[in-house]
């Protein structure tokens, strides 16, 4: 490899990446060992497949380092179109596994285009926002940016794979960083808060709380007419939203979504076995104590009590076998990785690279936050993998490419003038 | 400022996650205990598969219990193998091979050790089961059939394969799924939903009670019983009449579209596909390429319709106003339809036929001419043929009928584009397709299509989609079966045609089908057919065909009978149809001599000719 490239690579990030992948592989081994009968290295076995894909991922990482840095920016629109086409193609050629048509089968392997769509959408968004004619103060440009994010979402939701679709909404944080008016963010935050409050309480009580807040606000700060007018509008839209929450909850959501939310809110005792996964996962993690039970010693893990443990619930293996110390170590690694990516992004002189970096950070952030939150029983069940950890060839390869492109862009920052 | 928000969010997330970990792992000590106790055993509870009844609420299919001895090889230890082998009636060697096989599948997962032991063995074994660690008995349920009949309608069930599991995540390896027939079409109703019970086990692996007082348990959803439209006695009687003959029979109740009987012979006893011998028997049936017992001739057999199709051409010609009841054509033992092409007919030389007489004498000349007029009414043969084709299709021919069994064939109704492809440069005319006029051209129909067409005629212009479901417990049947489908023929045109069909029985080609006290309307058919023997096209003995409905007023049954290579329609098909009609309406048969002839007559000799490899004569 070219010496100058090697020296400019951000090695701390690469190191964290490799450690995370290695830990993931070890935990996949542990969570499937008990149920793998034949050779564990066989490509039929879960571990063997993951090892194979890790090999491919590392080769891909190295390959990305050799690509001309301009390639990503120049071809991002074309990638984006190909990506949309491959998502549309799933409706015709896709293979259905566990009820979701999200895969293309190639021999004994299958590829999940949604995993690659994440990196490509981040590229496309960076390309749009880095254009000097684009300004997020203009409504049309805001709409373009939303469109880029929403198209893949609309194609992924009907697969159905709402978890992956949710990840794209994380890209809103990139827009915020690049100057999207705060109004949007506040609207979103207020809507989520009002929604959850209303489910927990009743629309009437929520309206009372809102009105009280409004009155306090008016008496302390504003006597100006314009301000009062504005806040009255906000108050009324919030109250009407609160009253429509029940409709959305009952008519738009499906029963399983409602169940999951109700269980986390503590409104429903789980009587139909929906909370079984989370319950088992909590037991596995909770029984780990300070130091864990040791590699291959987790009774929950080896007894296969946690369903989907090698995919979305992989962190419960860490919790059980490596305890609080292991869990904290992994969480710290992830936090370090995210902060490092932000640091890398901020040091870019080129807008495209910076925006892409923020895209990478927000995608990983949503994945890590929602996955760990779910495994620890903090939020409703949302099926998304833990980056670099969970079993799944497409997801590992997708995250690798996502990160590798950023490392490549960063390695070139000195040449930008 | 804005770039700081993200850093803040990340740190907050990290702190929340770590505090939660701290809470779960350090503060809350319940979990350690729970995990020690937490060897949870999940046991499935399967609802009994739904029963199947016939239209008179006679039980056709129920279930019988059977017992499998299961093994988890890892748990097997120090048992008295000689006693165990004695109870199971196997020897020591067999025991070792079975255990080895189970271990190689999985040491930790249960596998079947000996399947389906008898009730007596089960009783003896059950008392001593506690001695044999690692083994247990699992109760399973098999189908039990009360009639050796209707296997083609009922279908069968078998264990799910990898493909089924992939398609529908509900299924787990080892479970049963409906594979064919009603068992497949109404799988969800008949199956119900399994329940799951979690049990707490202690560290000696003994069940100590329900896990968390059963909050995670799911109750099984009971299966639904279903009532079929079949009349099982009629079905059985029809199957016995077809003894030794190949073919298909479909009987429909015209006023509802309910299928009363669907007979395909040779068939098989449904009990063959149950129990220990299932796979051996299935292989035998599957590879029987000569009599093809798994091939449903009533639904999948595509035959030229022959003369019954003339009825349809008569109706179309009336509707298109190209003939009236009084239009006549003279038959000279046939006629020249072009200067050099002659179509034969069995009418005497110079017979002058009107519509009525040509139906009951089945005159080729008449219907060939009526057909020709229909096509030639329009400016181009394409247009004419399109019109004709649409009329034919309105009787449900040339397409799937939408009935609720998983197999079927579309049959074929040619349209203009078919002939355009066949004769490049549009070098075809009405007369090119003249054979369609007598049901002998490109048209192909299945027995159920022909029975449905007969029902539409019996109803004077509409039909209900044929179906096999009458009632589903606690559920209504598909509404598509409750809406009439109208044909393109005006009701008034049916009167002369139905009169002609009545005369077929009274004084025409099928006097043998006459039943005292019932006014039967019918039409015979004798269809030429071909096969390929040693790469040469070879004509075989004609198919014997009959369609009928009865009584003429308020028809109760419409029926189509195909007997492969039976020659004249009135030789086999008409008597069989007539006996079935009599049996259905009068509940008893008054013509023992005819019944005996049908029950005992076989066509084995005819079928053996074809596979004998020697030259043979046909239509004897």
Task: Tell me if A273 and B217 make a contact (CB, 8 A cut-off).
Answer: yes
Instruction: Tell me whether residue B163 is in a domain.
Output: no
Same-domain check for residues A164 and A230:
no
A271 CB neighbours in chain B (<8 A) are 215
| CA dist list (Å): A100 to A97, A112, A394, B496 | 6, 11, 15, 58
Task: Tell me if A335 and B167 make a contact (CB, 8 A cut-off).
Answer: no
Task: Tell me if A373 and B107 make a contact (CB, 8 A cut-off).
Answer: no
Task: Tell me if A97 and B105 make a contact (CB, 8 A cut-off).
Answer: no
More confident residue, B31 or A271: B31
Chain A and chain B share a number of CB contacts under 8 A equal to 125
Range of the domain at A211: 188-252
Alpha carbon distance A40, B419 (integer Å): 62
Same-domain check for residues B426 and B565:
yes
Nearest to B24 among A285, A342, A368 (CB): A285
Alpha carbon distance B504, B513 (integer Å): 9
Nearest to A177 among B2, B18, B35 (CB): B2
Q: How much is the pLDDT for A358? A: 93
The domain boundary residue, chosen from A229, A252, A275? A252
Same-domain check for residues A203 and A267:
no
- Provide φ and ψ at A130, rounded to 5°: -85, -10
Nearest CA in chain B to A333: B14
pLDDT tier, B614 (very low <50, low <70, confident <90, very high otherwise): confident
pLDDT tier, B534 (very low <50, low <70, confident <90, very high otherwise): confident
Same-domain check for residues A31 and A129:
yes
**A292 CA to chain B: closest CA distance, Å?**
9
Same-domain check for residues A8 and A90:
yes
Q: Indicate the burial class of B378 (C-beta count within 10 angstroms; 0-12, 13-18, 19 or more).
A: middle
Alpha carbon distance A284, A301 (integer Å): 7
Instruction: Tell me whether residue B248 is in a domain.
Output: yes
**What are the E-state strand segments in B58-192?**
59-71, 111-117, 135-145, 157-159, 176-178
The domain boundary residue, chosen from A252, A274, A301? A252
Instruction: Tell me whether residue B58 is in a domain.
Output: no
CATH, residue B492: 3.40.710.10
Q: Which residue in B4, B7, B10 has the most chain A C-beta atoms within 10 A of its own C-beta, making it the best mutation to test that interface?
A: B10
Task: Tell me if A378 and B3 make a contact (CB, 8 A cut-off).
Answer: no
Number of C-beta neighbours around residue B427 at 10 A: 10
> Helices A203-220 and A182-200: crossing angle, nearest 10°?
130
Tokens of residue B215, six digits:
């909050």
pLDDT tier, B11 (very low <50, low <70, confident <90, very high otherwise): very high
B13 CB neighbours in chain A (<8 A) are 335, 365, 368-369
Alpha carbon distance B536, B534 (integer Å): 5
Q: How much is the pLDDT for A238? A: 83
The domain boundary residue, chosen from B144, B175, B194? B144
The domain boundary residue, chosen from A216, A231, A252? A252
Q: How much is the pLDDT for B201? A: 62
Task: Tell me if A290 and B26 make a contact (CB, 8 A cut-off).
Answer: yes
Instruction: Tell me whether residue A148 is in a domain.
Output: yes
Residue B547 has pLDDT above 90, yes or no: yes
Task: Tell me if B2 and A276 make a contact (CB, 8 A cut-off).
Answer: no
Structural contact between residues B590 and B582, judged by C-beta atoms closer than 8 angstroms: yes
Q: How much is the pLDDT for A271? A: 38
Nearest CA in chain B to A283: B31
B2 CB neighbours in chain A (<8 A) are 176-177, 179
Nearest CA in chain A to B13: A369
Instruction: Tell me whether residue B288 is in a domain.
Output: no
Tokens of residue B140, six digits:
């399973």
**What are the E-state strand segments in A65-208?**
95-97, 100-106, 109-111
* Of the candidate ranges A181-185, A271-275, B413-417, the one whose mean pLDDT is the lowest: A271-275
Tokens of residue B183, six digits:
């068992």
**A299 CA to chain B: closest CA distance, Å?**
7
Same-domain check for residues A195 and A65:
no
Q: How much is the pLDDT for B577? A: 93
Structural contact between residues A93 and A119, judged by C-beta atoms closer than 8 angstroms: no
Task: Indicate the pTM of the whole model.
Answer: 0.62
B107 CB neighbours in chain A (<8 A) are 37
Nearest CA in chain B to A176: B2
Same-domain check for residues B104 and B237:
no
Average pLDDT for B316-325:
92
Same-domain check for residues A50 and A133:
yes
Kindly give, in sequence order, each residue whose CB lies less than 8 Å from that of residue A186, ignoring residues fewer than 6 positions away.
Answer: none
Whose CA is closest to A279, among B31, B219, B15, B197?
A: B31
Average pLDDT for A35-40:
58
Nearest CA in chain A to B220: A272
Number of C-beta neighbours around residue B89 at 10 A: 11
Same-domain check for residues A335 and A407:
yes
Instruction: Tell me whether residue B520 is in a domain.
Output: yes
The 3-class secondary structure across B435-449, one letter per residue, is HHHHCCCCCEECHHH
Task: Tell me if A335 and B13 make a contact (CB, 8 A cut-off).
Answer: yes
pLDDT tens per residue, range A93-104: 888 776 778 888
Same-domain check for residues A132 and A234:
no
Tokens of residue B574, six digits:
């008409």
Range of the domain at B489: 232-280+298-571+593-612
Same-domain check for residues A146 and A223:
no
Alpha carbon distance B261, B55 (integer Å): 11
A98 CB neighbours in chain B (<8 A) are 169
Structural domains in chain A (count): 2
Instruction: Tell me whether residue A258 is in a domain.
Output: no
Task: Tell me if A272 and B36 make a contact (CB, 8 A cut-off).
Answer: no
Task: Tell me if B216 and A328 make a contact (CB, 8 A cut-off).
Answer: no
Task: Tell me if B28 and A286 make a contact (CB, 8 A cut-off).
Answer: yes
Task: Tell me if B216 and A97 make a contact (CB, 8 A cut-off).
Answer: no
Nearest to A273 among B32, B34, B218 (CB): B218
Nearest CA in chain A to B169: A98
Most confident region among A75-79, A291-295, B476-480, B508-512 by mean pLDDT: A75-79
Task: Tell me if A35 and B215 make a contact (CB, 8 A cut-off).
Answer: no
Same-domain check for residues B99 and B236:
no
Task: Tell me if B31 and A35 make a contact (CB, 8 A cut-off).
Answer: no
Look up the ipTM and state it: 0.87
Instruction: Tell me whether residue B139 is in a domain.
Output: yes
Instruction: Tell me whether residue B6 is in a domain.
Output: no
Same-domain check for residues A335 and A410:
yes
Rg of chain B in Å (alpha carbons): 32
Kindly give, in sequence order, each residue whose CB lies less than 8 Å from that of residue B399, ignoring residues fewer than 6 positions away.
Answer: B393, B410, B411
Task: Tell me if B6 and A358 make a contact (CB, 8 A cut-off).
Answer: yes
Nearest to A283 among B7, B38, B167 (CB): B38
Same-domain check for residues B360 and B258:
yes
Instruction: Tell me whether residue A42 is in a domain.
Output: yes
Task: Tell me if A286 and B31 make a contact (CB, 8 A cut-off).
Answer: yes
Torsion of CA A350, A351, A354, A358, to 10 degrees: -170
Nearest CA in chain A to B103: A37
Task: Tell me if A288 and B217 make a contact (CB, 8 A cut-off).
Answer: no
Nearest to A177 among B3, B11, B36 (CB): B3
Same-domain check for residues A330 and A367:
yes
> Helices A315-346 and A351-375: crossing angle, nearest 10°?
160
More confident residue, B79 or A25: A25
Q: How much is the pLDDT for A264? A: 63
Residue B592 has pLDDT above 80, yes or no: yes
Q: Which residues of B touch A (CB under 8 A)?
A: 2-3, 5-7, 9-11, 13-14, 16-18, 20-22, 24-26, 28, 30-32, 34-36, 38-40, 104-108, 166-167, 169, 196, 215-218
Residue A257 has pLDDT above 90, yes or no: no
**B66 CA to chain A: closest CA distance, Å?**
29
Structural domains in chain B (count): 2
Task: Tell me if A286 and B17 make a contact (CB, 8 A cut-off).
Answer: no
Alpha carbon distance A103, A87 (integer Å): 10
pLDDT tens per residue, range B362-389: 888 999 999 999 988 888 888 888 999 9
**A279 CA to chain B: closest CA distance, Å?**
10
Same-domain check for residues A175 and A193:
no
Q: What is the mean pLDDT of chain B?
A: 86
Same-domain check for residues B450 and B547:
yes
Q: How much is the pLDDT for A272? A: 41
Nearest to B22 among A270, A324, A346 (CB): A324
Q: What is the mean pLDDT of chain A?
A: 83
Nearest CA in chain A to B213: A271
Task: Tell me if A37 and B218 make a contact (CB, 8 A cut-off).
Answer: no
pLDDT tens per residue, range A131-166: 888 888 888 888 999 999 999 988 888 887 878 888
DSSP type of residue B302: -
Residue B227 has pLDDT above 60, yes or no: yes
Nearest to A338 among B10, B106, B216 (CB): B10
pLDDT tens per residue, range A172-217: 888 888 888 888 888 888 888 888 788 777 778 888 888 888 888 7
The domain boundary residue, chosen from B144, B173, B197? B144
Q: How much is the pLDDT for B85? A: 87
Q: How much is the pLDDT for A239? A: 84
The domain boundary residue, chosen from B144, B169, B187? B144
B6 CB neighbours in chain A (<8 A) are 173, 177, 342, 358, 361-362, 365
More confident residue, B268 or A255: B268
A270 CB neighbours in chain B (<8 A) are 215-216
Q: Indicate the burial class of B430 (C-beta count within 10 angstroms; 0-12, 13-18, 19 or more).
A: buried
CATH, residue B85: 3.90.1310.10
Same-domain check for residues B132 and B269:
no
Instruction: Tell me whether residue B7 is in a domain.
Output: no
pLDDT tens per residue, range B423-478: 887 778 878 888 888 888 889 999 999 999 999 999 999 999 999 999 988 778 88
């Amino acid at each position: 490899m070219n010496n100058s490239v090697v020296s400019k690579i951000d090695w701390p990030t690469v190191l964290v990446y490799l450690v995370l992948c290695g830990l993931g592989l070890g935990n996949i081994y542990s969570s499937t060992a008990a149920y793998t009968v034949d050779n564990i290295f066989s490509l039929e076995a879960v571990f063997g497949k993951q090892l194979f894909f890790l090999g491919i991922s590392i080769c891909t990482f190295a390959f990305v380092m050799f690509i001309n840095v301009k390639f990503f920016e120049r071809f991002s629109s074309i990638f984006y179109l190909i990506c949309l086409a491959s998502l549309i193609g799933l409706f015709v050629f896709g293979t259905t596994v566990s009820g979701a048509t999200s895969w293309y089968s190639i021999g004994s392997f299958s590829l999940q285009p949604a995993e690659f769509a994440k990196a490509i959408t981040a590229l496309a968004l960076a390309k749009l926002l880095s254009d000097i004619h684009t300004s997020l103060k203009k409504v049309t440009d805001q709409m373009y940016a939303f469109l880029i994010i929403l198209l893949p979402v609309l194609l992924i939701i009907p697969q159905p794979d709402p978890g992956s679709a949710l990840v794209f909404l994380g890209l809103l944080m990139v827009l915020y960083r690049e100057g999207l008016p705060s109004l949007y963010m506040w609207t979103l935050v207020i809507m989520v808060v009002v929604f959850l409050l209303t489910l927990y309480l009743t629309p009437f009580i929520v309206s009372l709380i809102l009105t009280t807040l409004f009155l306090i606000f008016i008496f302390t700060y504003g006597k100006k007419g314009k301000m009062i007018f504005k806040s009255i509008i906000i108050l009324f839209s919030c109250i009407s939203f609160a009253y429509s929450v029940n409709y959305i909850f009952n008519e738009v959501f499906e029963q399983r979504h409602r169940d999951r939310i109700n269980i986390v809110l503590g409104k429903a005792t789980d009587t139909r076995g929906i909370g079984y996964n989370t319950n088992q996962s909590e037991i596995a993690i909770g029984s780990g104590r300070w130091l864990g039970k040791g590699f291959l010693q987790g009774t929950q893990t080896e007894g296969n009590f946690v369903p989907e443990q090698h995919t979305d619930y992989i962190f419960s293996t860490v919790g059980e076998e490596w305890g609080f110390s292991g869990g904290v170590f992994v969480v710290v690694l992830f936090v370090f990785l995210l902060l490092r990516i932000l640091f890398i992004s901020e040091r870019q002189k080129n807008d495209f690279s910076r925006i892409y970096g923020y895209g990478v950070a927000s995608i990983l952030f949503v994945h890590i936050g929602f996955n760990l939150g779910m495994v620890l029983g903090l939020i409703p069940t949302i099926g998304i993998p833990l980056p670099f950890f969970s079993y799944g060839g497409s997801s590992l390869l997708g995250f690798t490419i996502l990160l590798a492109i950023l490392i490549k862009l960063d390695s070139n920052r000195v040449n930008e003038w | 400022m804005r770039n700081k928000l993200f850093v803040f969010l990340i740190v907050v997330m990290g702190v929340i996650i770590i505090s939660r970990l701290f809470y779960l792992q350090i503060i809350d000590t319940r979990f350690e205990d729970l995990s020690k106790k937490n060897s949870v055993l999940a046991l499935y509870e399967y609802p009994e598969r739904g029963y199947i009844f016939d239209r008179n609420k006679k039980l056709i299919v129920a279930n019988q219990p059977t017992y499998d001895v299961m093994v988890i090889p890892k748990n097997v230890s120090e048992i008295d193998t000689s006693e165990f082998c004695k109870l199971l009636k196997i020897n020591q060697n067999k025991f070792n091979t079975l255990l080895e096989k189970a271990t190689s599948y999985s040491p930790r997962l249960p596998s079947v050790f000996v399947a389906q032991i008898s009730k007596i063995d089960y009783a003896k074994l059950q008392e001593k089961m506690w001695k044999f660690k690692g083994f247990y008995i699992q109760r399973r349920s098999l189908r039990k059939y009360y009639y050796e009949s209707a296997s083609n309608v009922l279908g069968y069930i078998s264990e799910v394969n990898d493909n089924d599991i992939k398609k529908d995540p509900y299924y787990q390896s080892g479970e049963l799924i409906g594979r064919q027939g009603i068992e497949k079409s109404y799988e969800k109703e008949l199956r119900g939903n399994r329940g799951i019970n979690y049990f707490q086990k202690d560290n000696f692996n003994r069940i100590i009670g329900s896990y968390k007082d059963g909050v995670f348990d799911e109750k099984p959803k009971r299966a639904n019983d279903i009532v079929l439209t079949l009349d099982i006695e009629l079905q059985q009687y029809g199957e016995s009449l077809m003894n030794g003959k190949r073919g298909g029979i479909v009987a429909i109740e015209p006023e509802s579209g309910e299928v009363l009987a669907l007979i395909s012979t040779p068939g098989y006893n449904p009990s063959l596909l149950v129990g220990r011998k299932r796979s051996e028997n299935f292989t035998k049936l599957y590879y029987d390429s000569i009599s093809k017992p798994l091939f449903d001739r009533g639904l999948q057999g595509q035959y030229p319709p022959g003369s019954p199709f003339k009825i349809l051409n008569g109706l179309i010609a009336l509707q298109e106003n190209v003939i009236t009841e009084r239009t006549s054509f003279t038959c000279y033992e046939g006629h020249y339809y072009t200067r050099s092409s002659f179509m034969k007919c069995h009418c005497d030389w110079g017979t002058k036929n009107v519509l009525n007489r040509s139906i009951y004498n089945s005159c080729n000349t008449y219907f060939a001419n009526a057909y020709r007029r229909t096509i030639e009414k329009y400016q181009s043969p394409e247009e004419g043929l399109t019109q004709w084709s649409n009329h034919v299709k309105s009787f449900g021919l040339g397409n799937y009928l939408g009935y609720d069994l998983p197999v079927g064939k579309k049959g074929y109704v040619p349209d203009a584009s078919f002939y355009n492809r066949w004769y490049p440069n549009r070098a075809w005319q009405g007369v090119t397709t003249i054979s369609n006029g007598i049901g002998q051209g490109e048209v192909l129909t299945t027995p159920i299509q022909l029975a449905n067409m007969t029902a539409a005629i019996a109803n004077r212009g509409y039909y209900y989609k044929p179906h096999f479901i009458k009632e589903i417990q606690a559920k209504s049947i598909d509404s598509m079966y409750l809406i009439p489908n109208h044909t393109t023929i005006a009701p008034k045109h049916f009167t002369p045609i139905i009169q002609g069909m009545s005369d077929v029985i009274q004084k025409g080609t099928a006097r043998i089908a006459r039943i005292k006290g019932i006014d039967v309307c019918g039409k015979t058919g004798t269809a030429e057919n071909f096969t390929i023997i040693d790469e040469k096209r070879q004509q075989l003995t004609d198919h014997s065909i009959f369609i009928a409905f009865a009584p003429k007023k308020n028809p109760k049954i419409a029926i189509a009978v195909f007997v492969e290579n039976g020659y004249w329609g009135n030789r086999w098909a008409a008597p069989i149809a007539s006996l079935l009609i009599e049996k259905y309406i009068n509940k008893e048969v008054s013509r023992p001599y005819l019944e005996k002839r049908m029950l005992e007559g076989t066509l084995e000799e005819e079928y053996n000719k074809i596979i004998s490899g020697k030259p043979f004569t046909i239509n004897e």
